[in-house]
């Protein structure tokens, strides 16, 4: 028995030891996953390969692990500054023999972003290194990138389509009348067309005038960029008579793209890969057409950003401006204000650059951001604003504390105006036999009453508040631009402007991108050497692991993704039409949410939001709500 007890104790000890070892291995593995990062020092000679299978954005929306509970996964996107930094670094890196951009599943990007990436591609070509681009179907943004390539390839079943700026907006006046829903609109601004879908059956002449002028400037800028980079591109042929252009190549859209000089060669992925392999070397371990390469994430990790000299803080205001802590990818007013206030109180920064790429949004959210920026400026620190593709309405509101404002010619800005929309359903309820009544002690009791209707008193009060908000907006701009409120009112009224015109009328000081703004801020701070610090950069390891596992990360360890297309991307004209139809359905849902979402006073540029932001799959409202049902019925 004593021997048996000894054996049993030994077995129990072994069991406990194994359990402890397994626990240590388990938690060690969890720790390793949570600290997983692209490792520097793993860059081998070959091509810098970037598969742009998502949109190019100013700031990536961060995936929240709690979203897993709703079944949502991370979405792929690429920060413009990351792409530019990697491509520019490749120009002087002896290990990188070529830069390869795969646009097979490209999610699009703004015109200003494409211009900046194109300039980085030009830097590589100036260093006598080839830049190769390939896609199935090139649209405007892809054509703009391909123009800067030394070799642009198109799939034999693909082609190119140049549409230019412009498109369709949805107008709900007749539908609301039919449903007997009354949209109470409070606004200031002749050109504040954000409210027109709810009060008109079509666009007003003033809205068309303003938007037409901006479209013309953007179109001219796009053509100039493409023609400068690729002089042989026959844009007039492609846009003048597309039917005749394609018919001249026997209906073969790929051959038509080559004939117009938009691309250089036709070939499938395997042929394209073999061509790249001729330049950088083949990868015998990969599939047919694989070549030696390094992906974007490990390359960025290998090329550390500068950290010497004075620190210049950069805060990004990207996406719709909302109240609260939303973002990144959405400009939560509290979140961004806290970032700026912490930077100001730390004493670690010599200047501030505010990067704006936003159509605006909540008045209160924009004001929180503006006030925080003003507080940092009051500490005698230089403040510059760098406008990306879009800095309109609330996006301009937050720019008013700046000492200097930089923009691109294709930037959309202005839209100095304010509005609010509140629906009421008294007629709709009466139509189905529902009445309303009650006892009130004042003219504001129970108001705004979305069921019984608005009283004249509450309508007057809300309109006064909107007019007061517009007066404040005009006053902020006037003080910032050293003009009178009357002068700003003439160029305000909710009208949007292209960057070139905005500079002429004094809303913008200087042409230039964020590099120009950083250099100016550093010079004002007396910094001979400096580096940029982007506030709020995400370092959550759990989020990184989930994005890697679920495909939201831009890196991949194998080359199978090169040859596995994303069916969500259009590869021919029919697929492009289907995608744009889905985009209209998303627009419908967004417009209805704007009407019914209870968002309060807004400094928002509706007409320019879809024009300048990157393409992305529409996000439907939560299923099961009557709003979602209405969106499905009319989409």
Q: Is the dihedral of CA 507, 510, 515, 517 positive or negative?
A: negative
Question: What HEC string does 451-483 produce?
Answer: CCCCCHHHHHHHHHHHHHHHHHHHHHHHHHHCC
Instruction: Tell me, yes or no, if 393 is annotated catalytic.
Output: yes
Q: For 535, how many CA atoms within 13 A lie in the half-sphere containing its CB?
A: 26
With contact defined as beta carbons under 8 Å apart, do 104 and 53 qualify? yes
User: Residue with structure tokens 């400026």?
Assistant: 377
Give the active site residue among 76, 129, 182, 192.
Answer: 192
Give the active site residue among 193, 358, 386, 393.
Answer: 393
- 465: its two tokens: 């508040």
- 71: its two tokens: 């079944």
Count of residues in the chain: 635
With contact defined as beta carbons under 8 Å apart, do 580 and 164 qualify? no
- 83: its two tokens: 């792409």
For 23, 81, 247, 443, the CA distances from 439, given in Å and listed in that order, are 67, 59, 72, 11
Number of other residues whose CB lies within 10 A of the CB of residue 122 = 17
> Crossing angle of helices 80-92/111-126, nearest 10°?
10
- 486: its two tokens: 């009357």
With contact defined as beta carbons under 8 Å apart, do 35 and 541 qualify? yes
Backbone angles phi, psi at 178, to 5 degrees: -65, -40
Of residues 584, 389, 552, the one with CA closest to residue 54 = 552
With contact defined as beta carbons under 8 Å apart, do 583 and 120 qualify? no
With contact defined as beta carbons under 8 Å apart, do 101 and 132 qualify? yes
CA distance 268 to 263: 14
Instruction: Tell me, yes or no, if 308 is annotated catalytic.
Output: no
Is residue 590 classed as helix, strand or coil in its secondary structure?
A: helix
* Residues that are catalytic: 192, 393
């Amino acid at each position: 028995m004593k021997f048996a007890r000894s054996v049993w104790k030994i077995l129990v000890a072994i069991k406990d030891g194994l359990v402890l070892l397994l626990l240590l291995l388990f938690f060690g593995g969890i720790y390793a996953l949570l600290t997983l990062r692209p490792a520097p020092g793993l860059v081998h000679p070959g091509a810098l390969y970037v598969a742009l299978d998502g949109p190019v954005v100013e700031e990536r929306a961060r995936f929240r692990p709690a979203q897993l509970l709703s079944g949502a996964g991370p979405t792929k996107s690429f920060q413009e500054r990351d792409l530019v930094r990697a491509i520019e670094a490749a120009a002087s890196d002896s290990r990188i023999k070529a830069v390869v951009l795969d646009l097979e599943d490209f999610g699009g990007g703004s015109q200003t972003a494409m211009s900046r990436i194109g300039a980085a591609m030009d830097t590589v070509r100036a260093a006598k290194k080839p830049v190769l681009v390939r896609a199935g179907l090139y649209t405007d943004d892809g054509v703009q990138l391909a123009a800067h390539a030394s070799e642009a390839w198109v799939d034999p079943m693909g082609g190119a389509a140049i549409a230019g700026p412009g498109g369709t907006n949805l107008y709900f006046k007749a539908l609301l009348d039919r449903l007997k829903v009354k949209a109470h609109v409070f606004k200031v601004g002749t050109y504040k067309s954000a409210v027109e879908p709810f009060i008109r059956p079509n666009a007003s002449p003033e809205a068309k005038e303003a938007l037409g002028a901006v479209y013309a400037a953007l179109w001219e800028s796009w053509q100039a960029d493409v023609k400068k980079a690729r002089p042989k591109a026959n844009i007039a042929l492609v846009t003048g008579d597309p039917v005749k252009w394609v018919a001249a190549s026997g209906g073969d859209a790929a051959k038509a793209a080559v004939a117009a000089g938009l691309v250089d060669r036709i070939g499938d992925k395997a042929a394209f890969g073999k061509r790249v392999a001729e330049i950088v070397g083949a990868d015998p371990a990969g599939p047919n057409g694989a070549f030696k390469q390094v992906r974007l994430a490990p390359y960025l990790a290998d090329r550390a950003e500068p950290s010497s000299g004075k620190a210049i803080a950069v805060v990004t205001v990207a996406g719709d401006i909302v109240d609260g802590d939303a973002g990144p990818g959405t400009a939560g007013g509290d979140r961004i204000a806290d970032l700026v206030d912490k930077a100001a109180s730390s004493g670690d920064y010599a200047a501030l650059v505010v990067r704006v790429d936003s159509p605006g949004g909540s008045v209160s959210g924009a004001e929180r951001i503006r006030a925080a920026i003003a507080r940092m400026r009051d500490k005698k620190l230089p403040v510059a604003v760098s406008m990306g593709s879009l800095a309109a309405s609330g996006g301009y509101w937050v720019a008013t504390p700046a000492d200097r404002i930089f923009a691109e010619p294709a930037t959309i800005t202005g839209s100095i105006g304010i509005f609010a929309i509140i629906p009421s359903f008294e007629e709709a309820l009466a139509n189905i036999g529902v009445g309303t009544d009650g006892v009130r002690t004042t003219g504001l009791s129970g108001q705004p009453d979305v069921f019984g209707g608005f009283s004249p008193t509450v309508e007057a009060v809300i309109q006064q508040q909107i007019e007061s908000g517009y007066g404040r907006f005009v006053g902020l701009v006037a003080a910032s631009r050293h003009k009178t409120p009357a002068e700003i009112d003439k160029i305000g009224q909710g009208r949007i402007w292209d960057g070139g015109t905005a500079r002429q009328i004094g809303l913008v000081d200087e042409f230039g991108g964020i590099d120009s703004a950083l250099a100016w801020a550093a010079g004002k701070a007396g910094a001979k050497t400096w580096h940029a610090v982007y506030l709020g950069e995400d370092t959550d390891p759990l989020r990184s692991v989930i994005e890697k596992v679920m495909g939201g990360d831009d890196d991949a360890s194998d080359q199978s993704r090169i040859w596995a297309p994303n069916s969500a991307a259009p590869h021919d004209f029919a697929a492009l039409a289907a995608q744009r139809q889905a985009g209209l359905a998303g627009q419908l849902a967004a417009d209805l949410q704007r009407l019914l979402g209870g968002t309060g006073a807004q400094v928002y540029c509706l007409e320019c939001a879809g024009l300048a932001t990157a393409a992305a799959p529409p996000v439907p409202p939560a299923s099961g709500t009557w709003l979602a049902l209405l969106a499905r019925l009319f989409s």
